[in-house]
Structure 1
Amino acid sequence: MADQPAYPIIDSHIHLFPSSELDTLAWNKPEGPLYKQHSLAEYASATGGPKNLEGFIFLETDRKHDLETGLKDGSGWEMPLMEVEWLKRIALGTPKEGEGHSEDDKKLCLAIVPWAPLPSGAEGMQRYVKEAAKHAGEAFKKVKGFRYLVQDKPKGVMLQDGFIEGLKWMGQKGFVFDLGIDQHNGGKWQLEEAYEMIEKAHEGVSEDNKVTVVINHLCKPDLSVYNQNDPAFVAWRTAMFKLSKCSKTFMKLSGCFSEMPASLKQAPVLEIFAALQPYLVVILATFGSFRIMFGSDWPVCTIGVDDAWKKWRQVVEKFCYLASLSEEDQIMIWSGTAIKAYGIKELM
């Protein structure tokens, strides 16, 4: 493969957390591989500090929360709001000692996507976002959207009246919704429900006020499936065509290592690309380069993978090269789509 031009890169999906707040993460256990600080010092080491890395978009890390007490007295929002304050210190360049970032790192923080209580409806969202703005201070201008992770929730959550109402409120206020679903572990119903959710959220809403939806990680298909006639692949492909027909909907080229068998994670880049090719072809055919964005899912991507960030970058480079994408198409995938979807005005 010929050397690829060094286009500007925006990593559209990373997670950060200091060692002092590990126990606020709902999923991170002391015996787990990520139970240690993952801040910008560690991120810089993982990426190798490429000169063309313009910055990143932070995604909430599923901190412990309680919807009911959050609405009642705000105590159920304590840990997600603690995360907002953590990102404030990064975005404004005011670190506490030992948190692994410096004042200079603030320029890398291009957008913040915190947690939000979407099932609480418009009223709950309004109250929470008001609190988040207080905790973020000047950094709130970098809050471009919110995520309420639905991949581990039961059927029907995405279709509840409050959830749809919350999405419509976000659209009116210009906030993006990051959608995290999981076909591999959750089942194909999540794909079907996600499409219905977007349809309901956009129903009766003007184009300008429709919520923008950024779909995470290709919806997490089972990447041990290589047979394109397999029912799981057919269901995923069908869903990609349906989801791509929804307006103001984007896809992150991210999170794939987590859905690969262990042997593929350790394989050479070309072998990984070959295994992913059927999936990448579908994503390009459905969403097109102007609605696809590069993301690493760091540090989750590092579990069982050596040099994961660099390896994923090489996979995406091979994808761009072997698909014979134009310079304009490649610029969109590496950074342009993220700028467009999240409205990052500083780089427009």
Structure 2
Amino acid sequence: MASEIPIIDSHIHVYPEAELNTLAWYTEDSLIGGRRSVEEFKSASASASSQVQGFVFLEADRKNDSSQSWTGPLAEIAWLRRIATGQPREGEGHTAEDAKLCLGIIPWAPMNLGAAKLEEYLAQAEKEAGPETWKKVKGFRYLLQDKPNGTALSDDFIDGLRLLGKKGFVFDVGIDQHRRGRVQLEEVVEMIDRAHDGVPEEEKVVFILNHLCKPDLTVVNHLSDTGFNAWRTAMFTLSKCKQTYMKLSGCFAEMPDSLKVRPAEDIFMALFPWLAIVLASFGSSRIMFASDWPVCTVGVDGAWEKWKKVVERTCYMATISDEDQKMLWAGTARKAYRLDAEEE
């Protein structure tokens, strides 16, 4: 049955080689530089091509000068428009037929500037996207993992989150407990509470947590590790909010290099303490499969297929039913991102 379950990869990045210099993280020696296109993604996931129904694109961190310049982020939306409407330029690595694979788009947004500026940006983003592509824009992300402490708790940021909720958009949460510590976990808990406080149920913004919130997967004795205990507590706290979902992804980037090269079975065993907590806290109906391609490929051969095997092993060991597996592999992404909803 598992081999027949549809898959939606709820977290991939694509970017054309011609626009590499607009990416904030790009350097000439970057291991994920070069063209990263739908064609390359299809090749990476070819072993499950009959199952993969499509993907959700996540913004790839275009330069924005602390939200003062929108040129790069808007160029990214224009790039996604070419994919979503099947109008490739020569050498971009996608075809007209690939448009059906682009199920959802999560661009960048200047959440730190407050509701008024966010409204202004959304208007420009909608114009850049065009009606057909705008239907696929399901939410936005503003990476918090590298921002100063307190960024997500400013009144402007909270007002921006409330605006997204009112408009029916989700917010993807990218934080990094591994490198930034427990403060990022604590701030996300407070951020969600404040964004929802006093807001009508139907206008509460949906939060989608990326990559297990990036815990430190190099920990050996997790039972006595204060970082693990803080992460575990945060998972159960965050899961109490029913508008919060978790992506099962991003683990290769947080584990030691020696583990990355091991078989999927060994990786599953090493990750079991973290995977068990996520399953226990969020349950399969609020967890979604994601690869974090192409970031997952750094130091990992056959990364997409290897991660798929880790998740399959997780489902088997947790005795997750076929119906619940359908949610984890695709249904949760459809629900959280409202991938089947038509815009009015």
- Pairwise mapping of residues 176-191 of structure 1 onto structure 2 (< 5 A)? 176-191=170-185
Q: Report if aligned partners of 1:47, 1:309 keep a CA contact under 8 Å in 2.
A: yes
| Paired residues for 1:19-168 under 5 Å | 19-48=17-46, 50-67=49-66, 69=68, 76-137=69-130, 138-168=132-162
Measure the CA separation in 2 of the matches of 1:25 and 1:310.
27
Could you list the per-position Cα deviations for residues 109-162 of structure 1 after superposition, in whole angstroms to 9, with x for gaps in the alignment?
000000000011111111001000000002110000000000000110000000
Equivalent-residue separation in structure 1 for 2:299 and 2:231 (angstroms): 25
Partner SS state of residue 105, structure 2: strand
Give SS of 2:4's match. coil
Contact 1:59 1:113 in 2 (8 A): yes
CA RMSD of aligned residues (A): 1.2
- Give the corresponding residue for 2:225: 230
User: Pick from 283, 289, 294: which aligns with 2:284?
Assistant: 289
Instruction: Output the amino acid matched with 2:51.
Output: N
The 8 Å contact of residues 165 and 203 in structure 2, kept in 1 or not, is answered as yes
Residue of structure 2 in register with 1:73 after alignment: none
Which amino acid letter does the alignment assign opposite residue 62 of structure 2? R
Alpha-carbon separation, structure 1, partners of 2:67 and 2:182: 29
Which stretch shifts more, 47-56 or 108-117?
A: 47-56
Q: Which runs of 5+ in 2 are unaligned?
A: none
1:254 match: 249
Task: Report if aligned partners of 2:67, 2:110 keep a CA contact under 8 Å in 1.
Answer: no
Whole-Å separation in 2 of the counterparts to 1:83 and 1:5? 34
CA separation of 1:346/1:196 partners in 2, compared to 1, >3 Å: closer, same or farther? closer
Task: Indicate if the aligned counterparts of 2:285 and 2:327 stay in contact, CA closer than 8 A.
Answer: yes
1:103, distance to aligned residue in structure 2 (A): 0.3
Shift of 1:41: 1.0
In 2, distance between residues paired with 1:224 and 1:237?
Answer: 15
Write the distance in 2 (CA, Å) between the matches of 1:314 and 1:89. Answer: 32
- Tell me which moved more, 326-335 or 4-13: 4-13
Output the amino acid matched with 1:309: W
d(CA) in 1 for partners of 2:66 and 2:185? 24
Cα separation, 2, equivalents of 1:291 and 1:247? 8
1:81-127 Cα offsets, whole Å, 9 max, x none, are 00000000000000000000000000000000000000111111110
Correspondence for 2:15 among 17, 21, 36: 17
Moved over 3 A (4+): none
Is 1:254–1:295's contact at 8 Å kept on the other side of the alignment?
yes
Matched, 1:339 2:334: yes
Task: State which drifts further: 117-126 or 102-111.
Answer: 117-126
Give the match for residue 172 of structure 1.
166
Residue from 201, 205, 210 that aligns with 1:207: 201
Alpha-carbon separation, structure 2, partners of 1:9 and 1:68? 34
Is the contact between residue 4 and residue 321 of structure 1 (CA under 8 Å) also seen in structure 2?
no
CA distance in 2, matches of 1:68, 1:216: 21
Structure 1 counterpart of 2:116, one-letter code: E
Which residue number corresponds to residue 72 of structure 1?
Answer: none
Q: Which segment is superposed worse, 38-47 or 211-220?
A: 38-47
State the Cα deviation string for residues 55-85 of structure 1 (Å, max 9, x = none): 000000000003463xxxxxx1000000000
Contact 2:171 2:205 in 1 (8 A): yes
Contact 2:67 2:112 (8 Å CA) reproduced: no
TM-score (structure 2 length as normaliser): 0.97
Give SS of 1:142's match.
Answer: coil
Distance 2:234 2:179 in 1: 16
Q: Which residue pairs with 2:308 in the alignment?
A: 313
Q: Is the 8 A contact 2:2 2:322 kept in 1?
A: no
Aligned residue in 2 for 1:276: 271
Aligned-partner Cα distance in 2 for 1:262–1:90: 34
d(CA) in 2 for partners of 1:216 and 1:262? 21
Higher mean C-alpha displacement, 123-132 vs 219-228: 219-228
1:6 Cα deviation after fit: 2.1
Q: Which runs of 5+ in 1 are unaligned?
A: 70-75
User: Given residue 128 of structure 1, which amino acid in structure 2 is its aligned partner?
Assistant: Y
| C-alpha distance in structure 2 between counterparts of 1:330 and 1:231, whole Å | 32
Secondary structure of 1:247's counterpart equals: coil
Contact 1:212 1:341 in 2 (8 A): yes
Spell out the pairing of 1:240-251 with structure 2 (5 A cutoff).
Answer: 240-251=235-246
The alignment of Structure 1 onto Structure 2 pairs a total of residues equal to 339
